């Protein structure tokens, strides 16, 4: 066994001082967070471990109490617990309050504080990978689910110029627009290529963010629901779907000549921000992104 192998084995050994973080989800087997966070701990030589916890909805309160009882440093929270976990926490950060969902719980001396890093993860990806500042930007968000809401709230708080939310079910787009209206001019339109308001929004958008599940593996072989020919050629087209990395929307946008932003960045950076909140250390964010990209490339989806 060579030295580097011994070192890499030693670096994942647990000790009496090992700190524990993890993720609550149901299911949780598909989560890529353990991969990213454990890689980050090893990179920084930290005596920490990140564990997936399958938590049934009816056990969420007990599991959250377990974070306090067992001195777990913090957990990420994923589907289906992001809203339900809030009632078990001591404090909720204002941005997570606006979003109405928590994806990161930090344990500070017996108190559990909830944050939401999803929208901030998107913003960090936007800044780092696309070199774009959301301030003043005219934004179109396609979709009105949990991810759209988190992104809309973070964009609103970051000073976006205006946000149009386009969704198949317009009432849900109205709910998202209504949530951010106190911070940014916002409107709802129908995600319908025959709706003139949607077409206007497409033509005006500087940043377009696709958040629906359309184009996600295994149903990836479908046409994009955003007619890219209606976009300005310099509009930045973002897809938060990361399986496959090159969605039909990203391909169509590239063919039109638009700059693009693929979805794995949001996942990596929401993890990096959660890592910083839980550990108090700067995340090795490039490594976390690289590990994720390598893993997704290996899946060959
Ligand atoms: P998430 O939490 O990941 O954002 P979600 O809350 O289930 O997921 O939201 C899914 C989004 O994808 C919704 O905006 C949904 O539109 P509806 O609100 O009209 O259901 C959108 N979506 C899913 N399938 C779609 C389809 N075939 N065409 C258009 N939009 C679709």
Per-residue pLDDT of the chain (301 residues; tens, 9 = 90+): 554 554 465 556 899 999 999 999 999 999 999 999 999 999 999 999 999 999 999 999 999 999 999 999 999 999 999 999 999 999 999 999 999 999 999 999 999 999 999 999 999 999 999 999 999 999 999 999 999 999 999 999 999 999 999 999 999 999 999 999 999 999 999 999 999 999 999 999 999 999 999 999 999 999 999 999 999 999 999 999 999 999 999 999 999 999 999 999 999 999 999 999 999 999 999 999 999 999 999 987 7
Query: What's the confidence (pLDDT) of residue 11?
Result: 57
Query: What's the confidence (pLDDT) of residue 6?
Result: 46
Output the pTM of the full model.
0.95
The ligand 1 atom nearest the CA atom of 142: 14
Task: Output the residue whose Cα is nearest ligand 1's atom 29.
Answer: 168
**144 CA to centre of ligand 1 in angstroms:** 7
C-alpha 252: how far from chain center? 23
The ligand 1 atom nearest the CA atom of 172: 18
Q: In sequence order, what are the beta bridge partners of 36?
A: none
Backbone conformation region of residue 222, classed left if phi is above 0, alpha if psi is from -120 to 50, else beta: beta
Neighbours of 168 (CB within 10 A): 15
Query: Could you give the CA distance from residue 119 to residue 270 in angstroms, rounded to a whole number?
Result: 8
CA dihedral 169, 172, 176, 179 (to 10 degrees): 150
**β-bridge pairing 186-190 and 162-167:** parallel
Task: Output the residue whose Cα is nearest ligand 1's atom 3.
Answer: 147
Query: What's the confidence (pLDDT) of residue 171?
Result: 98
């Amino acid at each position: 066994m060579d030295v580097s192998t011994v070192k890499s084995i030693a670096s994942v050994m647990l000790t009496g001082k090992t700190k524990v973080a993890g993720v609550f989800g149901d299911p949780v087997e598909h989560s890529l967070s353990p991969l990213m966070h454990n890689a980050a701990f090893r990179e920084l030589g930290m005596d920490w471990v990140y564990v997936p916890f399958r938590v049934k909805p009816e056990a969420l309160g007990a599991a959250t109490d377990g974070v306090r009882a067992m001195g777990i440093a913090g957990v990420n929270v994923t589907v289906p617990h992001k809203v339900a976990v809030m009632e078990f926490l001591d404090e909720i950060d204002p941005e997570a309050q606006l979003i109405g969902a928590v994806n990161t719980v930090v344990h500070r001396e017996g108190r559990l504080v909830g944050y939401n890093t999803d929208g901030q993860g998107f913003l960090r990806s936007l800044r780092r990978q696309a070199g774009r500042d959301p301030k003043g930007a005219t934004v179109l968000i396609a979709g009105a689910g949990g991810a759209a809401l988190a992104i809309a709230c973070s964009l609103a708080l970051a000073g976006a110029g205006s946000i149009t939310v386009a969704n198949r079910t317009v009432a849900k787009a109205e709910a998202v627009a209504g949530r951010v209206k106190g911070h940014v001019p916002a409107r709802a339109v129908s995600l319908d290529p025959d709706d003139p308001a949607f077409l206007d929004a497409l033509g005006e958008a500087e940043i377009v963010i696709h958040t629906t599940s359309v184009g996600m593996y295994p149903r990836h072989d479908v046409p994009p629901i955003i007619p890219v020919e209606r976009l300005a050629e310099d509009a930045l087209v973002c897809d938060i779907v990361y399986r496959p990395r090159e969605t039909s929307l990203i391909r169509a946008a590239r063919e039109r000549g638009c700059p693009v932003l693929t979805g794995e960045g949001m996942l990596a950076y929401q993890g990096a921000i959660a890592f910083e909140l839980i550990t108090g250390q700067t995340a090795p964010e490039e490594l976390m992104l690289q590990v994720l990209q390598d893993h997704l490339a290996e899946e060959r989806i």
